[in-house]
Amino acid sequence: MLYSIPTKSISEHNRHKSGFPYTLGRLRGGFKILFPENFICFIKFHTFAAHWETSRMKKIDFKSLILFENNDYIVVNKPPYLSTLKDRHEAQNILDLARLYTTDAQMCHRLDKETSGCLVIAKNPEAYRNIAMQFESRKVDKVYHAVVDGIHEYENFLVDRSLAVTNKGVAKVNKEGKSAQTYFSSLKTYYSHTLLECKPISGRMHQIRIHLSYLKSPICGDELYGGKPLYLSALKRRFNLKMGTDELPIMQRVSLHAYSIAFLGNQGEKIEVTSPYPKDFEVLIKQLEKNR
């Protein structure tokens, strides 16, 4: 598949809207576009346009993503950059992979493409109705972990601010919007960053991201809502970058992970699943610990 984007049209908004998790760095006569490791890219640069071809995507083994499974539900550890539902820019998505595994699979909720972690799939209509009612009555317990800019001491701190989505696909705090509540607690503080536990009560688009931006503690890498990329040079003393190379962020996406989820199964049994950090999030935490 071949794409061509005029250089002048590439902006921060377009970067997010397009769905491609690339980062931009200036080069003479154009831009450098960096894709995640599951893309193999061939890139040409010239004054007016950047062309790239995604020749193939690494095939994902759905079974390797499964954290929990019974007769009614599957909980997977969604990798970053993989869409929950169909995406015209991608050959693979969680829903299609799940339906190859079990025909009647239905997604019970969604995660942003860049967000990793726990995602629940119903294996039959009865299971879907059961958990849908729990989501509607806000009885599903969801916990996210996020690395944010700055040092913050939150202890079960509630943000209760309604959200509205603009026609550009960006959420914002708006009293005329839909009700949204999130609780925040600080798990660990570092030199100039904080690892937070985030518990959304409602499930609005970009809810955690915009609520943290509202608190002036945006998520690292979330440039859409005021977060900054985190570079090793900002943490490590005597950091030396090889001449002629560009420094990349430690984590090249929004630093948000769906850490755990808990709900009741069809027989009333409690199902609680925790998702380990993916490699990039784990590396970020290790670097923060190492350079406190």
Whole-number pLDDT of residue 87: 82
Fold annotation for 62-290: Pseudouridine synthase (3.30.2350)
Ordered by start, the domain boundaries in the chain are 2-57, 62-290
Tokens of 291: 């350079």
Rounded CA separation 186/179 (Å): 24
- Alpha carbon distances (Å) from 62 to 3, 16, 142, 196: 28, 26, 22, 29
Contact present, 248 and 23 (Cβ < 8 Å): yes
Contact present, 134 and 122 (Cβ < 8 Å): no
Contact present, 69 and 85 (Cβ < 8 Å): no
Compute mean pLDDT per 10 residues along the chain, 292 residues long, and list them: 40 42 42 48 35 51 97 97 88 95 97 97 98 97 98 97 92 95 97 97 96 97 95 83 84 97 97 98 95 84
Nearest to 235 by CA among 289, 291, 152: 291
Which residues are identified as catalytic? Answer: 112
Whole-number pLDDT of residue 171: 93
**Rg over CA atoms, the chain:** 20
Q: How much is the pTM?
A: 0.80
